[in-house]
Amino acid sequence: NGGLVNNASSNCFIVDNPEQLTSEVSPCDVSTPYQHRFRLNGSYDLPWYGLLVAGVYQDLPGPLIVANRVYTSAEINAQATGALGRPLRNATRTIDILEPFSMFGDRLRQLDLRVGKLFRVTGGRFQFNVDLYNVLNGSTPTFIRNTYTAPGAVTTTPWLQPTQVQDGRFWKFSLQCDF
C-alpha cells in the first residue's frame, strides 16, 4: 500500500492565546514535506518441485525528529530580553526548538522473502512455508528520544537515542492445512 504523507496547518489566525503566537521557534504556518512510501510485493510459482516464492520490499519514511526542551519559569525570566516579569502559569514550558518537520530519521528499508511447498493429499492439502524477515538485517531506529538536553548536561536519556529499532533478521516456519 503506497502513498504519501503531506499536509499543512495554519494557526496564524489565533490571537487570543499568547502560547500560540508566531515566533521563530514555532511558526504559525506549517507545511509537512512530501515523504514517499514505496512497497513492492509479488509471488511466483516455480516450474519445478511445486515451489512458491514470494517477496515484499518496503521503503518507508523515517521518524520525525523534534528537540523538545523543557524551560522553567526561572530560566525564562532570567533572560535579558523576552522575560515575562511573572511566573509561568505552569512550573515549566516545553518548546520544540527545531523548525517543525525539518528533520527526519533514516528511512526504513526492509526485504521479506517466503518459500513455500504445496502437498496435495486425499481430502486436503498442506502448505509448508519458510519465511525470512528483514533479509538485509537493517537496524534502523523506528522511535527515537525527542527530549533535548543542553550540551554538557548530565542525563541518562540523551537526545536522538533510539528507543526502538527495526526487528533483526529472523526465520519463521509455518504449516497451513486445508481440508
Tens-place pLDDT, residues 92-131: 778 888 888 889 999 999 999 999 999 989 989 999 999 9
What pLDDT digit, counting tens, does each position of 153-165 carry? Answer: 777 678 899 999 9
The overall pTM is greater than 0.85: no
Mean pLDDT estimate for the chain: 82
What grid cell was written down for 113?
522473502
In the 8-state DSSP scheme, what is residue 19?
G
Cα separation, 32 vs 6, whole angstroms: 5
Q: What pLDDT does residue 100 have?
A: 83
First to last CA, the chain: 32
